[in-house]
Amino acid sequence: MGSADSKLNFRKAVIQLTTKTQPVEATDDAFWDQFWADTATSVQDVFALVPAAEIRAVREESPSNLATLCYKAVEKLVQGAESSCHSEKEKQIVLNCSRLLTRVLPYIFEDPDWRGFFWSTVPGAGRGGGEDDDENARPLAESLLLAVADLLFCPDFTVQSHRRSSVDSAEDVHSLDSCEYIWEAGVGFAHSPQPNYIHDMNRMELLKLLLTCFSEAMYLPPSPDSGSTNPWVQFFCSTENRHALPLFTSLLNTVCAYDPVGYGIPYNHLLFSDYREPLVEEAVQVLIVTLDHDHTTSASPTVDGTTTGTAMDDADPPGPENLFVNYLSRIHREEDFQFILKGIARLLSNPLLQTYLPNSTKKIQFHQELLVLFWKLCDFNKKFLFFVLKSSDVLDILVPILYFLNDARADQSRVGLMHIGVFILLLLSGERNFGVRLNKPYSVRVPMDVPVFTGTHADLLIVVFHKIITSGHQRLQPLFDCLLTIVVNGKGPRARLPRTHHQVGGWWWLGRFPEARLSLPAGNSSLVYAIIRKRSVFHQLASLPADPPAIQKALQRRRRAPEPLSRSGSQEGTSMEGSRPAAPAEPGTLKTSLVATPGIDKLTEKSQVSEDGTLRSLEPASQQSSADGCPAEEEPGQVWREQRRLSSASASGQWSPTSEWVLSWKSKLPLQTIMRLLQVLVPQVEKICIDKGLTDESEILRFLQHGTLVGLLPVPHPILIRKYQANSGTAMWFRTYMWGVIYLRNVDPPVWYDTDVKLFEIQRV
């Protein structure tokens, strides 16, 4: 009865607020306390008892009442942080105010006239909340963010107090060293606190409020301007927040230390609720949002990573003003890298786990947020990137990514997941060690619908890419260039393809890369043999249509499948995966659109491996000639125009091959390496076949794998690699994708459902 009475009283207070036409004074505590002091409602109750229509009605008809409600709720949070929430009533008031602000804030952000309200100074909103503190008053947004930061390290509310006597006064609260109360052991913290269900739930409520504050970016149209920053994130990650370092460490450690399987007891997730998983989901979402920083204008490190990162305790550290990005870029200890990499790999591999008992193991759903976090780790901390590639641990990241790519290749609603996976592989393939790591034999089987084979991880990469190109949906066309660039980067490119690739045959898919090389280096021969083993795959790719009319005809056949209908139909955008539907929509009916993906020329820059093993950037292809004297790469439009001209000429019967035409491209074929290879290997293979009477190619492949061509092949040309380069276009794409995933994942409660977001389109199918 008590809970029902509490909900009824709360609903009556909401009705009074919406029906009052006259402003309610801020000093009328009897009225305002109805919303937080006399109720014990859950966050689901708040969302159900405060309808969206009534929030908009108060915003339009009684704006002063809505402003006072927000101000009073922030004031209660500030008072709770000051008093350290000693009593249960104070804790309940803080939670109620947090839930109410989480409900109201999206409707503040969707109205441009209200968007600046929280950045205005309210009289009496000083740190102490008294009338004498007007000269020290902060904007409402700053007071809110600082109060939440204090509450996240409030002893006996969100952290376990081991020195209760030290927090008896407000002065001691402000002098509290929150680094002693980091939530989880890991990076920079060795003590693992005892798990506490109540503390985790309180942290989750406050993190959800933080995420709602940061979501103002959802209500602004997409803009590639690198100078645009989120003011909420900018302030929260500044030096004004004295809890920035322990909070960053707590979020990162909480995510990387989480083990959804635990002791591995079958079906334990069905018998007991995992209160840790909701906290981890909120933590990773807050973390990737606070790391949303476009660093394209800042000085980039050298390609060998020698200038990236310093000790965490360096004085006057270089880096961006965003402290979270700064802290992330300065992690340097190998044990910290190992902890982060193992944690992310464990969580990414969780959906791939197979047991004899069906559905006996808990499966997480926030793999998309983990991929964004891994991307930011590699992008902001080059030392971490080189640590990942230093050992075979990178394969623990590669295999789950290939699994997600293969699983999502035919689902148009998960094209965003395809993009983030390919972008990560493109970033990894820009480093020389990536191809070396692919040589490790692939033995651990994962549930993928790919042919059974015996080989290396390079074989797996080629097979999955082949399935994406041949059986993926038509919206994946922009990714084909990236897929082929990854293959070219990973196998150590050597021998240049002919410039007249569009005349030689159907190798249009590989001929787009004039710097692509058919590699036969002794140090990476396993990758070459992987291509030999998968020669049927490449033969099928070579048989794909090469002329534009045939390609267009094939795409039209694919487009016959029904497309999702956009809410407004005004924006053509690709949609991304949503793990769960946003209530009260029907399951699987909501999707979010993406901005256009930048082309491969915008995503990458050419780098050349010098004699000393380091990488140096090259000028654009239009400004230089290639290493073997071939002209610079033609513009894509020029190539297609020439190909279209040849195709039309052939169709009309006005063109026929001539000996001069054959010589024009045959003279440019890089046959020296191939001919030397054949001169050496053909006699050896023939002798083995005659001596042993071999009829099976497996013995021949085994002989080739254990052979060497050191000293026999011509001196190779310099290796050219396309390395990912940061740019405002990809930064905008990641921002859209990140917020789209967060929008679809937060459905209990549905924080942003049915609000007028501008960053992406909401598609209903």
> Which of 54, 87, 122 delimits the end of a domain?
122
Q: Please check whether residues 325 and 223 belong to one and the same domain.
A: yes
* Cα–Cα dist 617/302, whole Å: 10
* Count of CA atoms in the C-beta half-sphere (13 A) of 96: 25
Q: Please check whether residues 436 and 359 belong to one and the same domain.
A: no
Instruction: Give the domain extent around 277.
Output: 177-296+319-390+735-764
Q: Please check whether residues 380 and 442 belong to one and the same domain.
A: no
Would you say residue 362 lies in a domain?
yes
Q: Which helix (H) or strand (E) holds 591?
A: strand 590-592
Q: Please check whether residues 330 and 411 belong to one and the same domain.
A: no
Q: Are 429 and 489 in contact (CB under 8 A)?
A: yes
In this structure, are strands 615-617 and 720-724 parallel, antiparallel, or unpaired? unpaired
SS3 per-residue string spanning 715-748: CCCCCEEEEECCCHHHHHHHHHHHHHHHHHHCEC
Would you say residue 41 lies in a domain?
yes
What lies within 8 Å, CB to CB, of 251 at 6+ separation is 283, 284, 286, 287
* Cα–Cα dist 110/504, whole Å: 56
Number of domains in the chain: 3
Would you say residue 233 lies in a domain?
yes
Q: Please check whether residues 185 and 283 belong to one and the same domain.
A: yes
What lies within 8 Å, CB to CB, of 13 at 6+ separation is 31, 34, 35
DSSP for 76-126, please give it.
HHHHHHHHT--SHHHHHHHHHHHHHHHHHHHHHHTSTTTTTGGGSBPTT-S
Alpha helices (runs of H) in 625-727, residue ranges in sequence order: 636-651, 659-666, 671-692, 697-705
Q: Are 84 and 173 in contact (CB under 8 A)?
A: yes
34: tokens are: 């109805």
The confidence score (pLDDT) of residue 528 equals 58
DSSP for 299-362, please give it.
PPPPTT-TTS---TT-SS--S-S-HHHHHHHH---HHHHHHHHHHHHHHHHGGG---SSTT-S-
* Cα–Cα dist 449/464, whole Å: 9
Would you say residue 46 lies in a domain?
yes
* Cα–Cα dist 752/740, whole Å: 11
CA distances to 303, 481, 498 from 494, in Å: 20, 19, 13
Would you say residue 566 lies in a domain?
no
- 764 φ, ψ (degrees, to nearest 5): -115, 130
Q: Which helix (H) or strand (E) holds 604?
A: strand 604-609
Q: Please check whether residues 367 and 406 belong to one and the same domain.
A: no
Measured between its terminal Cα atoms, the distance across the chain in Å is 42
Q: Please check whether residues 355 and 378 belong to one and the same domain.
A: yes
Q: Please check whether residues 367 and 403 belong to one and the same domain.
A: no
> Which of 106, 122, 138 delimits the end of a domain?
122
Q: Please check whether residues 413 and 352 belong to one and the same domain.
A: no
- 456 φ, ψ (degrees, to nearest 5): -105, 180
Would you say residue 325 lies in a domain?
yes
* Cα–Cα dist 522/716, whole Å: 11
Q: Are 590 and 750 in contact (CB under 8 A)?
A: no
> Which of 494, 515, 538 delimits the end of a domain?
494
Q: Are 734 and 375 in contact (CB under 8 A)?
A: yes
10-residue mean pLDDT series, the chain (765 residues): 72 86 85 83 89 92 91 93 87 93 95 90 54 65 94 87 51 69 89 87 95 94 71 94 94 93 58 78 96 61 36 43 93 94 93 67 86 94 93 91 91 89 90 86 82 84 89 84 81 38 33 38 50 64 57 53 35 37 49 72 62 52 37 42 53 72 79 80 86 80 77 65 74 90 90 90 76
Report the SS3 class of residue 175.
Answer: coil
Spatial CA neighbour of 43 closest among 258, 215, 244, 282: 282
Q: Which helix (H) or strand (E) holds 616?
A: strand 615-617
Q: Please check whether residues 253 and 381 belong to one and the same domain.
A: yes
pTM for the whole structure: 0.77
Type of residue found at 416 = G
Type of residue found at 721 = I
Q: Are 433 and 391 in contact (CB under 8 A)?
A: no
Q: Please check whether residues 205 and 324 belong to one and the same domain.
A: yes
Would you say residue 200 lies in a domain?
yes
360: tokens are: 């006996």
Would you say residue 729 lies in a domain?
no
Q: Please check whether residues 190 and 206 belong to one and the same domain.
A: yes
Buried b (16+ CB within 10 A) or exposed e, 183-203: bbebbbbeeeeeebeebbebb
Q: Are 436 and 374 in contact (CB under 8 A)?
A: no
